[in-house]
Amino acid sequence: MPGAYVQRGERITLRTVEEEDVRFVQRASTNPELRYPIGNRLMNRTQLEEHIEDGSSDRFLVCVEGDEASPGQPDDADVTRIGEVTVMDADWKRPELGYWLVPEMQGEGYGKEAVSMVIDYAFRQYDAPAIGAEAYDFNDASRGLLESLGFEEEGRRRKFMFVDGAHRDMVQYGLLRRE
């Protein structure tokens, strides 16, 4: 069962990631349709549980919900998990966003709504002048999402990671609080 309600948007709800959500969240590191575009390393369930429990990130489960979903601990039947948005490194440097949606929900505007809500959260929660995010140069959808939310390209890490048989560039983005 998903965790407590954090924030509700027009079509989605952000909820806390709970132990019961680990299997769903693990999709990002085990599904090649997700792992390659975001570059996550493969993690087994124990590694992922430890990663979630270390508390270094604010993690939000992106959900589509029925009208019957309760704010506290809703029934699984009332909630469809569709992705995750994280805020990393906010305690010691500029907050960095990470996000993914299940492939069947991509391109429908859910990612933009979720990331926009988490940007608002991060600027309320942390006294940071900017928020950062990264996307591989080949990930047009992610780059387009960031640019549609006002992020500016700030740099590029050339041949940053070996992904799907080739060294790929990582494009760095930033959004200033005043923007």
DSSP for 52-101, please give it. HHT--EEEEEEEEE-TT--SSS--GGGEEEEEEEEEESTTTSS-EEEEEE
Which stretches in the chain have pLDDT values below 70? Answer: 1-2, 27-56, 67-77
CATH code for position 87? 3.40.630.30
Number of domains in the chain: 1
- Report the pLDDT value the prediction gives residue 179, as an integer from 0 to 100: 85
Residue 58 resides in a domain: yes
- Report the pLDDT value the prediction gives residue 24, as an integer from 0 to 100: 79
Residue 82 domain boundaries: 5-127
Collapsed DSSP state (helix, strand, coil) of residue 7: strand
pTM for this model (two decimals):
0.84
- Report the pLDDT value the prediction gives residue 91, as an integer from 0 to 100: 80
Residue 96 resides in a domain: yes
- Report the pLDDT value the prediction gives residue 28, as an integer from 0 to 100: 62
